[in-house]
Structure 1
Amino acid sequence: MNRVGELYACLYAKEFPAQAVLRLRPELKEQPVVVIEGEPPLESVCSFNAKARYLGVVRGMTRVELDTFSSLIVLPRSRPEEVSTRAVMLECAAAFSPRVEDRSEGSAFLCVIDIAGTEKLLGPPEVLARELLRRVQVLGVSGSVAISENFYTALSYVRGSSSPIAFIAPGNEGSALAPLPLKVLDVSGQHAETFALWGIRTLGALAALPEKELISRIGQEGRRLRQLARGELQHHFVPYEAKVELEERMELDTPVEELERLLFVVNVMLEQLIFRVTTRVLALASVTITLSLEGNAVHTRTVRPALPTNDRPLWLKLLQLDLEAHPPTAAIVAVTLTAEPGSTSKVQLGLFSPQLPEPMRLDVTLARIRALVGDECVGSPVLRDTNQPDGFRLEPFKVPSARSSSSATVSSLAAMRQLRPPERVSITLRDRQPSFFIFRDCRYEVEHAYGPWLAEGDWWNRQTWALEQWDLIGRSSDCGMLCCCLVRDLKEQSWHVVTLYD
């Protein structure tokens, strides 16, 4: 008897090697495709799609036999893409229940979800199954779902049934499994041969055998197989602990050198990442693209906008601008996208705060500026813990919060223009104070001089500094006034204008 309160949904995707390869190649799904594995010239078919099955392709065909088919696309098996797709499928299943057991085997993906107690949150089992299949189809995989109160009943039925969605009512496990072939139980070769000699080909025929006589002939394994056929065998659920890793990988059929062809592939991968992160009510905070190049080289770039977003055209444009500014050095053979999730919360500003620019325009503008001046010259300035002039560093630009935006006030009434690099001047001192100076071929008489302010530091480094600063108000012969800041380098005994005051 089944234990009270149990309910399982089994998700099954057959021909998984072919589906994993075609998931990020939607343009090939309407064409006959086969996947081969092995060392050339001994490759053989390990998986294929429905279009290829209609042409007569069977598992185990050699490359020579495939050459007899016209309009057949042959792709190599990709183990990394299968691992990535399997992780995506388990992540999708975990969105419906935290208890998911992975039962994948051979060329099929198989997982069982414990959905007991989810009716109030996700609706009846049939509604849950339809939503599960819809999300799986968005991921680019086709599958089927069977729901039962018995773990192994759902597992066996989904393997042998052609129905995309099946719900096995409590008490009907045996009758639902009866017409299915014996192969859905993974019977060993020796026992399969024994059952064939007895004329046992379906689960109904196996379930009808007397238990004691079956045990006396093939042992306790016979009792276990009979319980499986009757839908009575219990199972100790072993949940799969999945790690949330937003990663998509695709191995290219041929090396790619043009950026436009690469962006076509990246666009499909971004679509999958955005769908996966949206189901968790999150957004993409950063995307890292890793390009595997010919010669075992790797080219890695990271793009991080000012705000987390799920705007796919924005991400595609940012990646395009970054790769144009930092192109790879060789042809690309594989692409990996890794994303970091972030909060989708909106930034709420104060009533009198200045309006922020549109995030998409802002990020694209910053990316274009980085392409012109370099990554190290774009960002928000932050003062360092030093008195040295120009003692600041650049951090990635971030949109200010409502609190920091509303509290920002203007602390100075004068505008200050920093000269970079500082301009050298010729100066005359009188009583150790500036009397007049020549700046940009114009002579200025000093009317007011404020200073000096002495500053020195970094005595522990080789490049120590010692400066003397003066704020001057000078007037030229044509009555033009100049307010500036002069700095005297005490080590080199040189004078420079570093700042002009407006």
Structure 2
Amino acid sequence: EHRWGASGLASWRLAHGIDTRRPVLARSDATRAVSTELALSADSMEPVLFIVRAALGQLVDALVHDARAAAAIAITLTLDDGRGAVVNAPAHTITREVRPARPMARVAPLFERCRALLDQWKLPAPVCAVTVTVTATAPMSAEQGDLLAASWRDPGAADAAFERLRASLGAQSVVRPVARDEHRPEKAGAWAELHEVLRETPAAGTETATARLLETPERIDVEVAHRTPRTLWWRGKRVVITRAVGPERLSGDWWKDPFARDYWRCESEELARDMLLYRDAVGWHLQGWYD
């Protein structure tokens, strides 16, 4: 102990299997980020896009090596607006973050998401540096495809297609229907951006017929027998109702937009569909039909 000191004694103990340290998993806390300075300050996003794509390539390679996927990407732009000319003054930076619908480790869909963000970014000053950082990660998905299953599709390819649509048509071009807690059929559903809602599969037994509603319910004339609709005239055509189910009274919203309607679901062999009719104080209306 006197000859080799504390380090020598610790080495001797380790050589004999004496280790009081608790076993832990190796973990890297290094920040995953790539920074690049532009040779000349840029007034447009074109040079920034090239830098972001190259940075994503490096970051994705590192993520794949660690079996991780990116859950959030932050883009920081350093602006050349003269603030850095002051001694010890920090550079003027702006940071914005994008989050894909699901964690992924593929350059193409991540870049499309970043490009959609940059296309909407108004530059207050020229850009002199770009930093791309992976701010959140998740374990990489272990989903694999089946060569013999023709119905299997790569979810990453779908995400890339959605991002291309957002980039070309706008950030709100990819939407999905969501249910709303409303009694009126026209307000029982709405459209929400795909990345704002969870992609969950409906539970078994919850499938219902799809209702296709007209943008504005159309006035119709209806023949009634024994308080049940039997024939209707719609757009100049006479339609015979073979079966009518109803009425179902819906009313409410007295505090903002009161309504009171008697709904009927009517079958017609001529149109080969179930129609949704209602009657209110104004008269009969055709609101849509079911597939």
TM-score range for the pair, normalised by the shorter chain length: 0.5 to 0.7
Q: Which has the higher contact order (CA 8 A, sep 6+)?
A: 2
Q: Which has the higher helix share?
A: 1
Whether the 8 Å contact between 1:487 and 1:495 is mirrored in structure 2 is yes
| CA pair 279-459 structure 1, distance change in 2 beyond 3 A | farther
Q: Which has the higher strand share?
A: 2
| CA pair 269-419 structure 1, distance change in 2 beyond 3 A | same
Whether the 8 Å contact between 1:303 and 1:319 is mirrored in structure 2 is no
**What is the CA-CA distance between 1:496 and the residue it aligns to?**
3.0
Aligned mates of 1:347, 1:449 — CA distance in 2: 48
Aligned residue for 1:208? none
Q: Does 1:428 find its partner at 2:218? A: no
**What is the CA-CA distance between 1:418 and the residue it aligns to?**
1.0
Aligned mates of 1:298, 1:441 — CA distance in 2: 61
Aligned residue for 1:345? 141
Q: How does 1:371-450 map to 2 (within 5 A)?
A: 371=167, 374-376=170-172, 378-389=174-185, 390-392=187-189, 394=192, 396=195, 408=204, 411=207, 416=210, 418-430=212-224, 432-450=227-245
Aligned mates of 2:159, 2:105 — CA distance in 1: 13
**What is the CA-CA distance between 1:275 and the residue it aligns to?**
4.6
Whether the 8 Å contact between 2:112 and 2:167 is mirrored in structure 1 is no
Aligned residue for 1:3? 6
Aligned mates of 2:281, 2:169 — CA distance in 1: 32
Whether the 8 Å contact between 2:266 and 2:277 is mirrored in structure 1 is no
Whether the 8 Å contact between 2:74 and 2:95 is mirrored in structure 1 is no
The unaligned stretches of length 5 or more in structure 1 are 8-115, 123-241
**Letter of the 2:55 counterpart:** M
**Letter of the 2:163 counterpart:** A
Aligned residue for 2:86? none
Aligned residue for 2:165? 369
Aligned residue for 1:129? none
- TM-score normalized by the length of structure 1: 0.41
* Aligned-partner SS, 1:264: helix
1:394-437 CA distance string (max 9 Å, x none): 3536665xxx69x757846xx64513524413122535433432
* Aligned-partner SS, 2:264: strand
Aligned mates of 2:258, 2:95 — CA distance in 1: 39
Number of equivalences:
257
Q: Does 1:310 find its partner at 2:96? A: no
Aligned mates of 2:36, 2:258 — CA distance in 1: 52
| CA pair 285-418 structure 1, distance change in 2 beyond 3 A | same
**What is the CA-CA distance between 1:450 and the residue it aligns to?**
1.1
Aligned mates of 2:233, 2:130 — CA distance in 1: 60
Choose the corresponding residue for 1:468, options 245, 253, 262: 262
Aligned mates of 1:383, 1:349 — CA distance in 2: 32
- TM-score normalized by the length of structure 2: 0.65
**Letter of the 2:237 counterpart:** C
Whether the 8 Å contact between 2:75 and 2:132 is mirrored in structure 1 is yes
Aligned residue for 2:156? 360
Aligned residue for 1:238? none
Q: Does 1:283 find its partner at 2:69? A: yes
The unaligned stretches of length 5 or more in structure 2 are 12-19, 82-91
